[in-house]
Amino acid sequence: MITLEFPDGKKKEFRKGIAAIEVARSIGERLARDAICAEIDGNLVDLGMEIKSSGKFRVLTFKDEKGIEVFRHSTAHVMAQAIMELWPSALLTIGPVVDEGFYYDIDLEQTFHPDDLAKIEKKMEEIVRKDLKIDRQVLAKKDAVDIFKHNPYKIELIEEFAGEISAYRQGNFIDLCKGPHVPSTGCIKAFKLTKISGAYWRGDVKNKQLQRIYGISFPDRKALDEYLKNIEEAKKRDHRVIGQKLDLFSFDDISPGSPFFHPKGAIIFNELLRFLREEYSKRGYKEVITPLVYGKELWQTSGHWEHFRENMFMLNMDGREAALKPMNCPSHCLIYKKGFKSYRDLPLRIADFAALHRNEVKGTLGGMTRVRKFSQDDAHIFVAPEQLEDEILHIMDFTRYIYKEVFKFDYRIELSTKPEKAMGSEELWERAEKSLADALKKKKLEYKINPGDGAFYGPKIDFHIKDTLGRSWQLATIQVDFNLPERFQLEYEDMDGKRKTPIMIHRALLGSIERFMAILLEHYAGRLPLWLSPVQVRLITVANRFDDYAEELRKELEGFGVRAELDARAESISKKVRESQLMQIPLIVTIGEKEVAAKTVSIRTLDGKVHFDYPKDRFVEAVMVALEKRTEKAEL
């Protein structure tokens, strides 16, 4: 007999070799129907897996993040089978799960077109109707090579496998996969293929370009329909469309991936910086301005030349190799070294909004969410070891303030650990990972481990915010780095008179300002909070004889720092109001004879409410309070 412990702490005995699905049935038939896979002592297994030892047992459904991943990866296999049945000469590569569903990269001479997605979906429906059993097979290396001998991509993967090689078969289709999967193709009730794009094998531009097909899937049609409805809403909220309509920014092929901020877009950008600078002054940060171009030697010292060079823009400077900086940390190490430091100088918090450049593959660029030129609310904090945990806790509080209190975003947290290509000793990495984990536990924050996804110089905590449409975006990050201070030979004199090496914390809370702006525009559908709106108040006069009153009010608002405009054109009130609404101006004020006589205004807000005969002075005060508190709108 074996003993299994359930998530609620209860334990129950079962016969040795019982299948995971039978354990699920013993808990409840509904759970067994919804089950996607099981988890035993943290390891995911197929529902048909025989359990031969005691341990902690959990059934995963579509309500679990890992259950969703297994379900969608199973759908990727169904899509791959459909593609192979339609185009037998296709070479499959990999088909992972991503935030927006799943994809499969395919090598095929024929170019896929949007019409082909419908053909693939139809074939997938046939495969689902057949309800093919999905079986796991463990393969000897020579057998795996023989099965996939016509696919060089699979052979490359097989040659790299150090452990067990497994594959999953459904009908006549077989694919390499560690699993687990749903029990049969009939479990996949609702799916949609969403787009086609290009991708290089293993993300390397030196390799062949493949065709990538994306899709999404759900256990029922209702959930899929809701998702597709959100996708349509997301198209309406596309920041590129909003940016053009509101005249905020543009792009030009003369400088791919680099936004041109128009005057109104620059206002939003600078308001975000102003907000951060105000917070920095309260929290002991010192802002610096640093160069954009550095000689090769700096990048060799930092490790970027070895680990990040393919993402850097190279150039020649005075006959020597140089590069535009992709990040600020090495330049902040140089600033740290410029003078003597003692323990009294720590923590030293250095902030920088310098422009950064990364040589992203052109095909991956997308509006302001994936760019080549960008600015971060970047800061590097140098601390003594005994200060590390407190400083991480302070940054977490700062992050919470920004996302929860100012922008009202929810977020989830991931701790990303040492990647395959990393600098520094195992001991330093363990210390850094432990410091982040300890801080999270002290704050009693739930988090997920993201193995191998840390930066090459240190582990990190990432904050993933959720927008109005339920989409997840990785924004704030906190990274602990023992490596760069050692590589740059940074020191401080401790209170015992000894020279010691500080620890460096990398942190960006909004992340890329460009990307954050894009997310805000989509989250608010262009209706930005009052304090961020390029034009906060538009005054509209019924006739020219009321212009003097309106201009006097505009100047008063402007004197208090309010961005106010006067629309005195000889157009109808309805037309001027409609145009103001289309420009997403939060406060539209109309002024006529009655308002001038009573020293009032009539205010229209973007939610459709109209406040007639509102005292002018109270209106000015309400706007000032809203701007001071950075609330989403004025309380009228």
pLDDT tens digits, one per residue of 174-231? 999 999 999 999 999 999 999 999 989 988 888 999 999 999 999 999 999 999 988 8
The model's confidence at residue 326, banded by pLDDT at 50, 70 and 90, is very high
Choosing from 496, 523, 550, the residue where a domain stops is 523
CATH number of residue 189's parent domain: 3.30.980.10
In a domain, 303, yes or no: no
Q: Is there a single domain that holds both residue 13 and residue 120?
A: no
Q: Is there a single domain that holds both residue 249 and residue 217?
A: no
pLDDT at 433 over 90: no
pLDDT at residue 499 in the model: 95
Give the residue among 179, 105, 174 at the shortest CA–CA distance from 144: 174
In a domain, 363, yes or no: yes
In a domain, 238, yes or no: no
pLDDT tens digits, one per residue of 52-63? 999 999 999 999
Q: Is there a single domain that holds both residue 575 and residue 549?
A: yes
pLDDT tens digits, one per residue of 348-371? 999 999 999 999 877 777 888 889
Helix (H, G, I), strand (E, B) or coil at 538: strand
Q: Using an 8 Å Cβ cutoff, are 373 and 355 in contact?
A: yes
Tokens of 344: 């009294």
Residues 34, 622: Cα–Cα separation, whole Å: 52
pLDDT at 452 over 90: no
pLDDT at 469 over 90: no
Sign of the Cα pseudo-torsion (328, 334, 340, 342, in order): positive
Give the DSSP H or E segment for 273.
helix 263-283
The model's confidence at residue 482, banded by pLDDT at 50, 70 and 90, is confident
pLDDT at residue 233 in the model: 86
Query: What count of other Cβ atoms lies within 10 Å of the Cβ of residue 185?
Result: 25
Peptide bond into 114 cis (omega under 30): no
Task: Give me the mean pLDDT over the 453-470 stretch.
Answer: 84
Choosing from 229, 252, 281, the residue where a domain stops is 229
pLDDT at residue 111 in the model: 94
Q: Is there a single domain that holds both residue 450 and residue 483?
A: yes
In a domain, 119, yes or no: yes
The model's confidence at residue 232, banded by pLDDT at 50, 70 and 90, is confident
* Most confident option among 102-106, 234-238, 428-432: 102-106
Domain count, the chain: 4
In a domain, 315, yes or no: no
Per the document, the length of the chain is 636
Q: In what order do the strands lie in the sheet with 134-139?
A: 134-139, 165-170, 173-176
Residues designated as active site: 329, 358, 376, 378, 380, 460, 506
Range of weakest confidence among 28-32, 205-209, 518-522: 205-209
CATH number of residue 10's parent domain: 3.10.20.30
Q: For the chain, what is the mean pLDDT?
A: 92
Query: What count of other Cβ atoms lies within 10 Å of the Cβ of residue 408?
Result: 10
CATH number of residue 508's parent domain: 3.30.930.10
Give the range of the structural domain holding residue 21, as residue numbers without chain letter.
2-61
Q: Is there a single domain that holds both residue 79 and residue 212?
A: yes
Choosing from 482, 508, 523, the residue where a domain stops is 523
What one-character-per-residue DSSP string does 554-590 give?
A: HHHHHHTT--EEEE--SS-HHHHHHHHHHTT-SEEEE
Q: Is there a single domain that holds both residue 601 and residue 498?
A: no
pLDDT at residue 364 in the model: 76
Helix (H, G, I), strand (E, B) or coil at 182: coil
Q: Is there a single domain that holds both residue 43 and residue 123?
A: no
pLDDT: is 421 or 619 the higher one? 619
The model's confidence at residue 418, banded by pLDDT at 50, 70 and 90, is confident
Residues 240, 257: Cα–Cα separation, whole Å: 13
Q: Is there a single domain that holds both residue 87 and residue 49?
A: no
pLDDT at residue 506 in the model: 94
pLDDT at 347 over 80: yes
* Matching residue, tokens 């393969």: 139
pLDDT: is 472 or 317 the higher one? 317
pLDDT at residue 99 in the model: 79
pLDDT at residue 419 in the model: 83
pLDDT tens digits, one per residue of 568-585? 998 999 999 999 999 999
In a domain, 568, yes or no: yes
pLDDT tens digits, one per residue of 248-257? 999 999 999 9
Range of weakest confidence among 93-107, 250-264, 334-348, 463-477: 463-477
Q: Is there a single domain that holds both residue 216 and residue 93?
A: yes
pLDDT at 599 over 80: yes
The model's confidence at residue 427, banded by pLDDT at 50, 70 and 90, is confident
pLDDT tens digits, one per residue of 283-292? 999 999 999 9
pLDDT at residue 258 in the model: 93
In a domain, 296, yes or no: no
Task: Give me the mean pLDDT over the 339-354 stretch.
Answer: 95
Range of weakest confidence among 48-57, 192-201, 453-462, 520-529: 453-462
pLDDT at residue 610 in the model: 93
CATH number of residue 540's parent domain: 3.40.50.800
Q: Is there a single domain that holds both residue 285 and residue 429?
A: yes
Q: Is there a single domain that holds both residue 35 and residue 73?
A: no
Q: Is there a single domain that holds both residue 471 and residue 600?
A: no
pLDDT at residue 593 in the model: 92
pLDDT at 100 over 90: no
In a domain, 312, yes or no: no
The model's confidence at residue 508, banded by pLDDT at 50, 70 and 90, is very high
The model's confidence at residue 435, banded by pLDDT at 50, 70 and 90, is confident
pLDDT at 306 over 90: no
Angle between the N-to-C axes of helices 263-283 and 388-400, in degrees from 0 to 180, rounded to the nearest 10: 140
pLDDT at 323 over 90: yes
Q: Using an 8 Å Cβ cutoff, are 242 and 234 in contact?
A: no
pTM of the model: 0.78
